[in-house]
Amino acid sequence: MTDQVPAAENLSPTDEALSVLQNQFPNAVRRDDRDGYSGIVVDPARLVEVATYARDSLGYDYLSSATAVDYLGKGDHLEMVYHAYRTTGGAALVIKAQTDREAATLPSLTPVWPGANFQEREAYDLMGIRFEGHPNLKRILLWEGFHGHPLRKDWKEPYYEQEQKPFDSRWPNGRVVRSEEHNPYGKNVQYPDDFDLDGYTSPAEAAVYEEMNLGVDIRSDLATERMVVSLGPQHPSTHGVFRMVAQINGETIQQLEPVMGYLHRNHEQIGERNTFLQNMPFTDRLDYFCSLSNNLGYAIAVEQLMSLGARYQPPTYRAEVLRVLMAELTRIVNHMVAIGFLLNDLGAFFTPMMYAMIERELILDFFEAVTGSRMMCNYMRFGGTAMDLPERIRGEANLVNDRVRDFNTMEFLRELILERLPRAVDQINEYLTTSEIVTNRCIGVGVLPRADAIALSTAGPVLRASGVAYDVRRAEPYSIYPELEFDVVVRDHGDIYDRYLVRIEEMIESLKILRQILPKLEETQGQPFFAGRGGIYSPRVPAGESYGRVENPKGELGFYIVSDGGQNPWRYHVRAPSFINLTALERMSKGYKIADAVGILGSIDIVLGEVDR
């Protein structure tokens, strides 16, 4: 379908799509002309038509992000924002639809882009927009029965102090009082005025099993029975507090529904109270294996917004080199651990994991020496990085054979990148790739066809293992990736084995990038790692919106940020790859055995901090 797309290099995709769409749908489509905004605003009544046309005729076949914004006091409407891309690369077509705050209803776009499924449920859960035609519209992150829709601007959390940080109670006078002391229950709770506990039964659990035909159903003519099982949230193979409710017939999965929200810790709502820079450490805790590449995604999103204003200085070259160095090392950490976890799920309990953890520890030593923290690095800043590489890596806490570590940083990196990591990747490749455990349980299991992979908005290794050569580093390049030489790894079968192989090969590609980074690091030594004067604590972020995305190890990580020109983001949305990749879990698992579901989940490589946010 993408062959018919007219090549329009000089026109921006929005301009081109806008003119086409305006001809096609007069009166229903208009340009979003607010300052700093882009895209088109579509009449809700014709939203499905316009989206179908954009997908089929304009080639925007990949819905990256769908999220809602509450413009309370700024027009008093709720706005749904869709970012659609072409899988051949290029910039986004941003489609918006507005609805009244009171009776918020929009047509569901799941028939057009099935990948909107969970994202629309999230918008319903947190913003209270009802989607007509959605197949399964119920709360996703919170539980059924929760009061209110917390991301609405007029909803206040129990510990509410002020709209925006810094709170007066903490700064400048700093008389901090424990929030519990203000709450009549001494806890982080609040109840609606008319709530009566007597005779109350919680609808939370029942809603999970809705439409699942709970119970056991044995038919005399069948040798097997149909039943509903719940895996998790405490289950050794669900990678954290994830839960799957599956309807199985015998051992075969007929229906599977991911249940999440057990780690929903309100990144977005807290992010909207925080100042822009205060969000940086919170991004560390999204995908906690890849804190550095999360930092990068957020920095890019805010820098995009800052670039609209005056006096913006882009990051220095040294900063970009450092960023890519960190992002690619993170990719290796993540893929190592992902493969270790996958093998755990496949039955090689913890032995490959131990090998993966050794390499992770070495890279973490480097992160700790540079950023000060093993996992939560908080390293990127708007316009550069927080600090440069140290001269030497040393630390008494990290004893190797009881010797105090003391290395020259560049020597340490050179050994790590040129010798240690290639050897480790080879070792994993050699022992696992042809192992019988891996091949028997992975080949031909959990197949996700190419068309479904695109339609369900999967990203990262899951998408590329299904034969789609889509990598944000190439499709919409950022940082210094255009001048680096590497291949986008693609595999065609879309099964667990291919997803595993994609990860192995991506590690090899990352090492290739890192080898090109090493000389750049030496060339740029001593150059500034921060644009401008450095130490900007309150960046000037002009009003507008931006969607910054990076190719995280787990897939495309996007940050949708709306600024009203103040010190805090008006809307801070995270397009989390793990969350959206889970949309495809049911499609992958249907028809396979319940034991395979565990391996399939492992091959998607989710991390709950990012799924639930």
Interactions with another protein, residue window 144-163 (CB under 8 A):
145-147, 150, 157-162
Q: How far is the CB of 231 from another protein (least distance, A)?
A: 12
**Gap between the Cα atoms of 226 and 437, Å rounded:** 29
Please list the residues that pair with 248 across neighbouring strands: 227, 253
Q: How far is the CB of 230 from another protein (least distance, A)?
A: 11
Alpha helices in 36-188 (DSSP H): 47-56, 116-127
Q: How far is the CB of 32 from another protein (least distance, A)?
A: 31
Q: How far is the CB of 202 from another protein (least distance, A)?
A: 5
Contacts of 92 (CB under 8 A, 6+ apart): 13, 39, 64, 83, 84, 85, 547
Segment near another protein (CB under 8 A); pick from 80-88, 213-221, 263-271, 488-496: 263-271
Segment near another protein (CB under 8 A); pick from 2-10, 236-244, 298-306, 321-329: 236-244
The 8-class DSSP code of residue 552 comes to E
Q: How far is the CB of 236 from another protein (least distance, A)?
A: 4
- Compute the chain's Rg from CA coordinates: 24
Q: Which member of 76, 135, 187, 534 binds another protein (CB under 8 A)?
A: 187
Q: Which member of 67, 117, 266, 583 binds another protein (CB under 8 A)?
A: 266
Burial class (CB in 10 A: 0-12, 13-18, 19+), 522: exposed
The 8-class DSSP code of residue 314 comes to P
**Gap between the Cα atoms of 536 and 541, Å rounded:** 12
Residues 389-408 that bind another protein (CB under 8 A): 397
Q: How many residues bind another protein (CB under 8 A)?
A: 73
Pairing of the two strands 40-42 and 93-100: parallel
Residues 84-143 that bind another protein (CB under 8 A): 141-143
**Gap between the Cα atoms of 477 and 315, Å rounded:** 15
Tokens of 346: 């496949």
Contact flag: residue 357 with another protein (CB under 8 A): yes
Locate tokens 């990290």: which residue?
A: 398
φ and ψ at residue 313, rounded to 5 degrees: -120, 125
Q: Which member of 20, 212, 375, 447 binds another protein (CB under 8 A)?
A: 375
In one-letter notation, the amino acid at residue 312 is Y
Is residue 353 within 8 A of residue 346, CB to CB? The reply is no
Q: Which member of 27, 174, 195, 535 binds another protein (CB under 8 A)?
A: 195
Binding mask 411-450 for another protein (x = CB under 8 A): ----------------------------------------
Segment near another protein (CB under 8 A); pick from 71-79, 177-185, 386-394, 430-438: 177-185
Strand order through the sheet with 555-563: 544-552, 555-563, 569-575
Q: How far is the CB of 252 from another protein (least distance, A)?
A: 24
φ and ψ at residue 99, rounded to 5 degrees: -145, 160
Distance of CA 56 to the CA centre of its chain: 26
Residues 447-506 that bind another protein (CB under 8 A): none
Which of 111, 145 has the CB closer to another protein? 145
Residues 295-354 that bind another protein (CB under 8 A): 353-354
In one-letter notation, the amino acid at residue 532 is G
Segment near another protein (CB under 8 A); pick from 413-421, 488-496, 505-513, 605-613: 605-613
Q: Which member of 37, 288, 317, 407 binds another protein (CB under 8 A)?
A: 288
Q: Which member of 374, 392, 512, 540 binds another protein (CB under 8 A)?
A: 374
Which of 267, 473 has the CB closer to another protein? 267
Contact flag: residue 179 with another protein (CB under 8 A): yes
Q: Which member of 33, 102, 175, 403 binds another protein (CB under 8 A)?
A: 175
Is residue 569 within 8 A of residue 272, CB to CB? The reply is yes
Q: Which member of 7, 103, 197, 310 binds another protein (CB under 8 A)?
A: 197
Sign of CA dihedral 127, 84, 99, 560: positive
Which of 213, 234 has the CB closer to another protein? 234
Which of 3, 193 has the CB closer to another protein? 193
**Gap between the Cα atoms of 97 and 80, Å rounded:** 5
Which of 144, 452 has the CB closer to another protein? 144
- DSSP letter string over 375-438? S----EETTEES----SEEEEEEEEETTEEEEEEHHHHHHHIIIIIHHHHHHHHHHHHTT-HHH
Contact flag: residue 169 with another protein (CB under 8 A): yes
Q: How far is the CB of 237 from another protein (least distance, A)?
A: 9
Residues 67-86 that bind another protein (CB under 8 A): none
3-state secondary structure of 238: coil
Q: Which member of 261, 297, 460, 599 binds another protein (CB under 8 A)?
A: 261
Per-residue burial over 281-294, b if 16 or more Cβ lie within 10 Å, else e, is ebbbbbbebbbbbb
Is residue 345 within 8 A of residue 602, CB to CB? The reply is yes
Binding mask 238-257 for another protein (x = CB under 8 A): --xx----------------
Is residue 89 within 8 A of residue 59, CB to CB? The reply is no
Q: Which member of 19, 105, 213, 234 binds another protein (CB under 8 A)?
A: 234
3-state secondary structure of 64: strand
In one-letter notation, the amino acid at residue 562 is V
Which of 94, 260 has the CB closer to another protein? 260
Q: Which member of 9, 35, 198, 436 binds another protein (CB under 8 A)?
A: 198
Contacts of 3 (CB under 8 A, 6+ apart): none
Q: Which member of 12, 135, 191, 395 binds another protein (CB under 8 A)?
A: 191
Q: Which member of 224, 250, 265, 423 binds another protein (CB under 8 A)?
A: 265
Q: How far is the CB of 70 from another protein (least distance, A)?
A: 15
Which of 428, 480 has the CB closer to another protein? 428
Q: How far is the CB of 276 from another protein (least distance, A)?
A: 16
Is residue 150 within 8 A of residue 157, CB to CB? The reply is yes
